[in-house]
Amino acid sequence: MTFLYLSFALYLLGIVLSLRRELSYGIAFAGALSSLVAGILALTKECSSPQFSMMPGLSIGIGLDKTSGIFLIVASLSFVALTFYSIDFGKLFSRKMAAWFNLSLFGMTLVISAQDSVDFLIGWELMTIGLFLQILERKESHEEAFQFIAFGEASAMALIIGFASLFLTSGSFSIRDGVSAALAHSQAAPFFLVMVTLGFIIKMDIFPFHTWVTGAYSKAPSNTAALLSAPLTLMGVYGIVRTLSLVGYSTWWGVMVLSLGAISAFWGAMQAAAERSLKKLPAYSTVENNGIILTAIGLSAMAGAAGTQPMIILSRFAFLAALFVAFSHTVAKSLLFMSVGHAKESLQEESIDNVRGIWSNVGGIPAAGILTSGLSFSAFPPTIGFVGEWMVLEALFQSYKFEGNAERLIAAFAGILIALAIGLAAFSMIKLIGYTALGPDHGRKTHQFPSARIKSAEMFFIALLILGGVFSPYIVRLLGYSNFLGGLLAVPDPLLILSSNPIFGVVSPTMFLVVVGFLFLIPYLLYHRSAKKSRKVQAWNGGLALTEDEYFTVPAYSFILEYVLRKLYLTREVRTGYTAEVTNKDAAEYLYEYLNKFVRKLSYFVGRTVMNGKISLYVLYILVVFVLAFLL
């Protein structure tokens, strides 16, 4: 517990000393290291603080077990890189940003370490408020910030209602396994599950609760956008995993979550494929990745509820797949936003088309960060993203093991959507990599600012994405899933990951790197020794010379896809004089536009009829609300 206490103390100290930005972020870096050590220690030994009794049934306290330790390690890795990155990057923003950054980290650490729903909700609100204040750092970001806080409070309200039903059922606010028996067999369990699941998937940006992400991510500073996309959504994943430890597996919940996850993954990937904004594309990628995680958890619940030995094995493998994707998403998305932010602030541009030639005009490290994270999201071996998404597909391919035809069809259809999502994600990441990291230099002058720590943080995550994939069998062993490891032919034990027992599908990222590296190295050395200078020629343009503003643009890259799926993209042509532009709109936004109109009309009605200045109506209103509150 010492390192956990130390991390909380350091985050609070960072808030107090926020007037000195570099010192504040440096203290937050030390706090992140402390929480990382606390998570590692929790893998082998549980720890908890003394419980403070506030009232009958309410004892508050913090602690870590193996589950919370795993999630604290993943979150802390992101914290470590982002705080170190922010020592330099934070100089571009106000001093108060450092205070809100520390507040967010404090809240997230409290969420993971909370042993009761009261501490959990306090942490949930602290991280939401801290991120809300960070989004406000940018000028003209009030609308996006308030959209974020609206969804954040909707999430909190759903959790409050769910945890209230937990207390009514079990007589306790504990969210650890001690109340599981009383809750799992009660009539309130389905209601509790639905409400807390709603609260958590809102934070995970699951369709149709994702519409706030594009505005908030694009307006927030890039280190804040990384917090929003990676550790924040990880809190939602942790909440769902913790909920399952309370109530156990159920088929209906698994089907619901798997369906939501598969639809969200496809929708997020589809929107990312057509996106043209530098930070909105990674935002939709977050929707896709969290959909994949939710799909794997849903499949795990469906298989676990079946209860037979083959299905229990499938359930464990699907859950392991969810952990791997959560880890790969947290690392890769943190890296992507760090590298994108580095390039964006250097070039002072927002669109993918205008942030070209990062490798030559900004630097090789941010370009390599975009390249490596993009390849991970594209499931390119041997990155950790490849391992996680391979696991999810392998688990879904085993849908034939379900006894019921309905479960088979649902899981198989989810597999189709996930496969399409991975393909569309690769399409969008190739666009992002090709135009930004590896695109031609447009000759724009870069804005110089201190970046030594920024580059160090990017290099750390580049190495982690690759090494995490190469040594993924050892991560499987560390997590306690050694039964999914083995050896075959020339692959020594434990370098082969098995998707089932008996064997269904296998992969070895370690041997992949060894074999492909060997087969690539020799031809490359022979080629490099005898290669002649390459000759570059201009692209054919009808005999006319190409100018700087004549190139294959981002809208042109994805236009065919947008046209083929125009019914889903709501594609339309907008003409202005002699020019025309193709625009798309996320269909989910219409839902909230209608909701916005309804609330405005309701507010107008209430203002004219109830809140109209008549004291008698005010007294009646207060009396009615008091009676309702008292009864509830």
Q: pLDDT for 139-151, tens place per residue?
A: 788 888 888 999 9
pLDDT at residue 313 greater than cutoff 70: yes
Mean per-residue pLDDT for 349-369?
A: 85
Q: How far is it, in rounded angstroms, from Cα 216 to Cα 234?
A: 17
Give all strands (DSSP E) within 61-212, no chain letters: 63-64
Half-sphere exposure for 294 (CA within 13 Å, toward CB): 34
What's the confidence (pLDDT) of residue 539?
A: 62
Q: How far is it, in rounded angstroms, from Cα 114 to Cα 120?
A: 5
Q: Is the peptide bond before 208 cis (omega within 30 degrees of 0)?
A: yes
- Identify residue 359 by its one-letter amino acid code: W
pLDDT at residue 557 greater than cutoff 90: no
The gap between the terminal CA atoms of the chain, to the nearest Å, is 39
For 178-182, 291-295, 448-452, 453-457, which range has the lowest pLDDT when averaged over its residues?
Answer: 178-182
pLDDT class of 338 with cuts at 50, 70, 90: very high
Q: What is the mean pLDDT of the chain?
A: 87
Q: How far is it, in rounded angstroms, from Cα 142 to Cα 136?
A: 6
Q: Quick check: 132 and 153 in contact, CB under 8 A?
A: no
Q: Can you give the three-state secondary structure of 367-378, one letter per residue?
A: HHHHHHHHHHHC
What's the confidence (pLDDT) of residue 50?
A: 80
Q: How far is it, in rounded angstroms, from Cα 254 to Cα 260?
A: 10
For residue 59, count other CB atoms closer than 10 A to its CB.
17
The tokens for 90 are: 């934070």
Q: How far is it, in rounded angstroms, from Cα 205 to Cα 45?
A: 33
pLDDT class of 477 with cuts at 50, 70, 90: very high
The tokens for 593 are: 């536009």
For 66-80, 332-346, 436-450, 557-571, which range has the lowest pLDDT when averaged over its residues?
Answer: 436-450
The tokens for 376 are: 């991970």
pLDDT class of 200 with cuts at 50, 70, 90: very high
Handedness of CA 284, 289, 291, 294 (dihedral sign): negative
Mean per-residue pLDDT for 351-374?
A: 87
Domain residue spans of the chain: 250-478, 488-529, 554-583, 592-631
This prediction's pTM: 0.90
